[in-house]
Each structure stands twice: as structure tokens, then as C-alpha cells.
Structure 1
């Protein structure tokens, strides 16, 4: 069962294009620091930190402190509420397309 608040949190986190880009960059690099994320963007370190806070709240990233650095890593399991929701509607549309296909066969034998 999809918890509506979990789904809403994930959708809100990924709705922002900059935040989505931050998540994608983290997912593509394995682990990365705020400094490295800031260096590769036109966004301030404070803004990156705020985006990371939203991504952490949604369960999309985790952090690992090491000395003075904090490393961020993508948590693919955080996408589960979104994937479950999309899967539900995937079945819905597959059924509708099958119904349409059958109707078109009846109309034009």
C-alpha cells in the first residue's frame, strides 16, 4: 500500500528541476560532497544544502560523515512510493489500451 504522505514527499522533492539535477548527479557519481556538487553547478552551497535536506527527508539520499566532509549517496529505495504509484497506473493504461484494441477489431474486422 502506498502511503500518500510518502508519495507526496517524493514527488515534491523531485518536482524542482535543480533538486532533480542534484539527485541525478548524486545517483551517477556514487558518492559526492556538497563542495563537489556546488562546484559543478551555478547554485550556491547554501542552496545545494537545502536541496539535499529535501532529498534526505524524502528518503532519496543518505549521508556519510567522514572527517570534515559529508558524502551523499543516492538511495534508490526512496523512489519506491513513486514507482509503486506509477506501476498502479501502468496496469490501468495497459487494460484501457487492450480494451481499445478489442473495440477497434470489432469495428474494422
Structure 2
């Protein structure tokens, strides 16, 4: 394993779960909060599988209602639907390659996932 600090820093995600969620909202428009949680989870898992690194550091938890990220869940508390811009004031910048990944992934599979995600 490479312990070079520069290499380790390069592997760390730049984005937070809030960045990813807001970007999904910008790509997909208004959606139910539960769908947003599902799409954040799917984005993280596919990005990890394809690139070998995570999009964000926050932990995903399995819950009866589906996968959630507690930090995002706290921000969405009480919201049934979420529109683009809702999370914007909490954003950091997505790295360009992560932005491209999310756009590509959205067009490939998020539309299908959103159609089949639990309401």
C-alpha cells in the first residue's frame, strides 16, 4: 500500500454527501427525499466499483426504509420532496471527474433507479 501523503490526499474525496445530493437534484429535478437517499447510495456504490474510490467520506447506514447517510438525513428532516437548490448553501466543489461521473451515471442508470426506487 502506498503511504505517500500526496498520493493519499489525491485519493480522498473532494465532495461531501451534500455536494453529491445537490448535483443529483440538479440533474434529476425535484424528487422525493427517499429517492434522493437511494440515488446517493447508488452513486457512491457505482463510483466505488468503477473508480476504486468513494465520492464522499460520510458513512451510509442500512435502515428499514433503505440506505441513508445520517448527515443528509438530518438536513432533509421533515421534507417529503426536495428541489434543486435546497442544499446549495452547504456545498463544496465536486472534482471535475466526479462531476462527469455523476452526469454519465445519471444518464445511464439513475433514471432507471429513480423509477424503481421505493417511494
Instruction: Using structure 1 for the length normalisation, give the TM-score.
Output: 0.29
Which of 1 and 2 has greater Rg?
1
Return the structure number with greater relative CO, CA threshold 8 A, min gap 6. 2
Q: Which has more helix, going by share of residues?
A: 1
The structure in which a higher percent of residues are strand is 1
> Normalising by structure 2, what TM-score?
0.28
